[in-house]
Amino acid sequence: MATAAEQWVLVEMVQALYEAPAYHLILEGILILWIIRLLFSKTYKLQERSDLTVKEKEELIEEWQPEPLVPPVSGDHPALNYNVVSGPPSHNIVVNGKKCVNFASFNFLGLLDDPRVKAAALVSLRKYGVGTCGPRGFYGTFDVHLDLEDRLAKFMQTEEAIIYSYGFATIASAIPAYSKRGDIVFVDRAACFAIQKGLQASRSDIQLFKHNDMADLERLLKEQEIEDQKNPRKARVTRRFIVVEGLYMNTGTICPLPELVKLKYKYKARIFLEESLSFGVLGEHGRGVTEHFGISIDDIDLISANMENSLASIGGFCCGRSFVIDHQRLSGQGYCFSASLPPLLAAAAIEALNIMEENPGIFSVLREKCKRIHKALQGISGLKVVGESFSPAFHLQLQESTGSREDDVKLLQEIVNHHQGRGHSGTDRRRTGESRTHNQGGGPGRAAVGGSQGQVGSRRAARAGLPVAAEQPGRGLRVPGRVATDRSRGCGLGRPPRGGCWLFKHTHAHTHAHAHTHTHLKAQELVF
């Protein structure tokens, strides 16, 4: 029986072979031949090995030249030649041994030289010493830190506040503490460099909208809403953030906060508000853009600001609801891994808050002087004022440029030398990492100007050299110090801009580069 069955199977196989299509037989034949080839062919070829002699090896080593770690930089590059300031950074500073009017200070309210602030810092220095030598979680939390956080929360009328020891790291640490990979961040194209680095660290999906263009922002939100409807499961775990500045460092304009709050609730997003420039400037009591517009601070999910401007200290803070702020104590990299703020600086910030609360009239004085500066800069030949009149950072847009980056830099350095010879400190600044779309004005250059506690006059402004900058269009002037010191690349918000031109007067100057040549003037107290 078995033999008969086997014969029947063989017959069926032969019959099927004859009945199979010709292409099928050809394909099977090719596959069989390929398998046989693979089984009997070598998978590699032995290469002849030639050993080098010791002399040949030494010659090869001597001939090898490694690639440079960084591209070669000329020794006369401005970044390698500092303007050295000696003495206190007050209204007048000594730059390279020459007394000059200070154009580059963020001391909006003039508290840097206030005797009360100095006395508070001195008392703290004698009590606690200079630094902390430890992060907040490792014996770096002092009672003065807790006092400052409590005072900031009460001043901003929020539940809780957290302080950082470095202003730049505040928003750069806060963003990645909440926004992670897969989340979506809608950010203004004119966002400052600290926001850009925070976005880069978050690794989130970044959606850029045109500067202060709420229609463009809503378009992006609607597109995202449509995408969420296609994949509701993913949408449930995707967080959406809107990141803006109260007063934009790069444009001097104010954000349309009421419209942003409406879009927040309409499309269920969270708002992060960076108020480094508007804190201690806007609002009846200096609480920033929320007080300026009369918006409830509970409508903002997180407010961030540094203490290096109006408070005349160092560091930064975030404030909001308790559960939001407490998350940063575990996830804020700048908070967890940096040494805590020196107690003397925390004490100085507390005393600055005391002065701000006791004398709220200083904010209206500041805004009035900003408007006077804005008006004084009108009508200067070759320059156009851009930005809000009440902002401590105005932008002067140059109408013409040389058309060459190298020529702009060279011309600006000549202007810097000219102004230092006249007793007005300024430096050329090239800023990278900003969006090319910042050039909203359409002109080739901008400048930022700020005002604060001095007296401003058109005649003295002319003597300060403003018409000179108009007659010699270039890239930018700025004063030495903390202003415009970072030259890193940014996080993909656009190619590096051409530069900026800044002229700074007595107390405060601030500069930022944009798509073309810019001039930034910022003054806390412009006494010409």
356, amino acid identity: M
347 and 145 Cβ atoms separated by less than 8 Å = no
Alpha helices (H) in 20-94, listed in sequence order: 22-40, 54-63
pLDDT tens figures, 266-282: 999 999 999 999 999 99
Rg (C-alpha) for the chain, rounded Å, is: 32
Give the pLDDT of residue 48.
Answer: 57
Going residue by residue through the chain, which has 528 residues, state the pLDDT in tens, using 9 for 90 and above.
Answer: 556 666 777 777 777 777 778 877 788 889 988 888 888 876 655 555 567 888 888 988 899 988 888 888 888 776 787 778 888 877 888 888 888 887 777 888 889 889 999 999 999 999 999 999 999 988 899 999 999 999 999 999 999 999 999 999 999 999 999 999 999 999 999 999 999 999 999 999 999 999 999 999 999 999 999 999 999 999 999 999 999 999 999 888 999 999 999 999 999 999 999 999 999 999 999 999 999 999 999 999 999 999 999 998 999 999 999 999 999 999 999 999 999 999 999 999 999 999 999 999 999 999 998 898 888 878 777 677 788 889 887 776 666 777 777 776 666 667 667 767 776 665 444 443 333 333 333 333 433 333 333 322 333 333 333 322 222 333 333 322 222 223 333 333 333 333 333 333 333 333 333 323 333 333 333 222
Residue 15 neighbours by CB under 8 Å, 6+ apart: none
370, amino acid identity: C
H or E element at residue 206: strand 205-209
Cα separation, 339 vs 341, whole angstroms: 7
Give the pLDDT of residue 318.
Answer: 96
Give the pLDDT of residue 73.
Answer: 84
Give the pLDDT of residue 524.
Answer: 31
Q: In which residue are the tokens 């041994």 written?
A: 97
3-class SS string, 161-200: EEEECCHHHHHHHHHHHHCCCCCEEEEECCCCHHHHHHHH
321, amino acid identity: R
**Which 3 state secondary structure label does DSSP give 388?**
coil
Q: DSSP state, 341?
A: P
Token output for 401: 């440029």
Give the pLDDT of residue 382.
Answer: 66
pLDDT tens figures, 109-165: 889 889 999 999 999 999 999 999 999 988 899 999 999 999 999 999 999 999 999
H or E element at residue 269: none
Give the pLDDT of residue 46.
Answer: 55
Cα separation, 28 vs 40, whole angstroms: 19
Q: DSSP state, 20?
A: S
317 and 152 Cβ atoms separated by less than 8 Å = yes
Cα separation, 380 vs 395, whole angstroms: 13
Neighbours of 26 (CB within 10 A): 10
Token output for 22: 């010709």
Which of 523, 386, 395, 376 minimizes the C-alpha distance to 462?
A: 376
Give the pLDDT of residue 443.
Answer: 38
- Residues in the chain, how many? 528
Which of 437, 440, 431, 443 minimizes the C-alpha distance to 397?
A: 443
Residue 257 neighbours by CB under 8 Å, 6+ apart: 244, 246, 273, 289, 290, 293, 295
Give the pLDDT of residue 107.
Answer: 85
Q: Estimate to the nearest angstrom the gap between the alpha carbon of 54 and the chain centroid.
A: 54
Which of 221, 211, 220, 223 minimizes the C-alpha distance to 249?
A: 211
Cα separation, 432 vs 107, whole angstroms: 24
516 and 445 Cβ atoms separated by less than 8 Å = yes
141-180 burial: b if 16+ Cβ within 10 Å, else e? ebebbeebbebbbebbebbbbbbbbbbbbbbbbbbbbbbe
Give the pLDDT of residue 166.
Answer: 92
Residue 374 neighbours by CB under 8 Å, 6+ apart: 385, 387, 389, 394, 449, 451
